[in-house]
Structure 1
Amino acid sequence: MFAYLKGKLAHKDPTFVIVDIGGVGYEVKISLNTFSKIKDQENIQLFTHFHVKEDAQILFGFADTHEKQTFLHLISISGVGPSTGLMVLSSLNPEEVEQAILSEDVRTIQAVKGIGAKTAQRIILELKDKVGKDDAGGDLIGLPISSKNTTRNEALAALVTLGINKAAAQKSIDKILKENSSDISLEELIKLALKAA
């Protein structure tokens, strides 16, 4: 219903903000990740998800579309509601969530308050093929930013675009990066991965 809200930041709390838009204050639930990103901005834009349940209508807001997409992925899992999704994004940033899912790191996800072993395993199982995909359907693998990971991500996105299976592409790239120096060029990495895939 609401794609985003853009207005004056009337009130800020670690769990919610009030955005004044034309004299109307919208209360929006946020994660600690978003809280830290909006800092002391006077005017903000939050990408929103409008959640309706029997006894409440709640707006959830995110500093960027990546965090919103991660939240939507999380709440698509049975047993993970919006409050739990927000808790995950308050404990881990979207890149850390994706990294934990891609590397099947149950312990990291389970460390979030309110998530047990079974739910953590379900999140990994159901989201492994979905994480990193943007709204347009392209792959945006969110790993911590470093030159090696940036090259890895770009190579992975290119290989998936070329029709290579994502899991096979990841395996090939990781093997090549382990065997070669970290300053391998993107083109060279893609060529070697294409030969190996």
Structure 2
Amino acid sequence: MIEYIKGELTEITPAVAVVECNGVGYAINVSLNTFSAIQGKKEVKLYIYEAIREDAYILYGFATKQERELFLLLITVSGIGGNTARMILSALSPSELCNVISSGNDKLLKTVKGIGLKTAQRIIVDLKDKIASTGIQPAETGTAANTMLHSEIYEEAVAALTMLGFPQAPSQKVTAAILKETPEATVEQVIKLALKRL
């Protein structure tokens, strides 16, 4: 069982980080939260969850133990796999997710891509009591809405850029950078700025 991988960050996209450790490059699936936390660093330490299936061996990496703990809780919910859990953790920070679950805000959860009302309600019912044991402080409600908006703008901008014929990886990189610099930018503004940089 791999607890964490520590090494040189050789490649990074908003979805995957490649960490070289003792001459081996590990492709690790990351959330947008972890992407933001490790972007621009040379050396990183990612806490790992290994998903071992018959047809695949997938590594998920997290900048904090708390985020990994939430990921592990999410995948215990029926109908939530690794990628959906990562999507939820990309849309909401750990403290925002705790806030959404403890306040029973299924509407906000439902805005995550791939989450329907039934799944959102199931997450809340299954995890409400377990969230308290994580010790993660819930965030202010406003920030959760901002992050959701952020991830929607990010996804829309990347989708638009790829439809315009730009490769996905550079589009993701540029969009993430623009949103970091100007968090209040609209989708149109993000796309216009991205077109100048690509």
TM-score, scaled relative to structure 1: 0.69
Report the CA distance shift for 1:38/1:121 in structure 2 as closer, same or farther (over 3 A): same
Report the CA distance shift for 1:141/1:42 in structure 2 as closer, same or farther (over 3 A): closer
Q: Which residue of 1 aligns with 2:16?
A: 16
User: How far off is 1:53 after superposition?
Assistant: 1.4
Q: Which residue of 1 aligns with 2:51?
A: 51
User: How far off is 1:141 after superposition?
Assistant: 3.9
**Aligned pair 1:40/2:40, yes or no?**
yes
- Match for 1:62: what amino acid? F
User: How far off is 1:54 after superposition?
Assistant: 1.9
User: Which structure 2 residue ranges, 5 or more long, are not aligned?
Assistant: 141-198
- Match for 1:120: what amino acid? A
Distance, in Å, in 2 between the alignment partners of 1:104 and 1:76 is: 18
Q: Which residue of 2 aligns with 1:144?
A: 139
Report the CA distance shift for 1:77/1:25 in structure 2 as closer, same or farther (over 3 A): same
Q: Which residue of 2 aligns with 1:180?
A: none
Distance, in Å, in 2 between the alignment partners of 1:22 and 1:132 is: 38
Q: Which residue of 2 aligns with 1:30?
A: 30
Q: Which residue of 2 aligns with 1:159?
A: none
Distance, in Å, in 1 between the alignment partners of 2:47 and 2:12 is: 16
Q: Deviations over 1:107-133 (max 9, x none)?
A: 011110000000000000000000142
Distance, in Å, in 1 between the alignment partners of 2:2 and 2:103 is: 33
User: How far off is 1:143 after superposition?
Assistant: 1.3
Q: Which residue of 1 aligns with 2:120?
A: 120
Distance, in Å, in 2 between the alignment partners of 1:72 and 1:58 is: 14
Q: Deviations over 1:47-93 (max 9, x none)?
A: 01000112101000000001000100000100000000000001111
Q: Which runs of 4+ in 1 moved over 3 A?
A: none
Q: Which residue of 2 aligns with 1:137?
A: none
Q: RMSD between aligned alpha carbons?
A: 1.0
Does the 8 A contact of 2:15 with 2:30 survive in 1?
yes
**Aligned pair 1:111/2:111, yes or no?**
yes
Distance, in Å, in 2 between the alignment partners of 1:87 and 1:54 is: 23
User: Which structure 1 residue ranges, 5 or more long, are not aligned?
Assistant: 135-139, 146-197
- Match for 1:22: what amino acid? N
- Match for 2:115: what amino acid? I
Distance, in Å, in 1 between the alignment partners of 2:82 and 2:96 is: 18
| 1:28-177 matches, cutoff 5 A | 28-134=28-134, 140-144=135-139
How many residues were matched structurally? 140
Does the 8 A contact of 2:12 with 2:39 survive in 1?
no
Provide the identity percentage: 44
Higher relative contact order, structure no. (Cα contacts within 8 Å, ≥ 6 residues apart): 2
Please state whether the residue corresponding to 2:119 is helix, strand or coil.
helix
Does the 8 A contact of 1:49 with 1:61 survive in 2?
yes
Please state whether the residue corresponding to 2:131 is helix, strand or coil.
coil
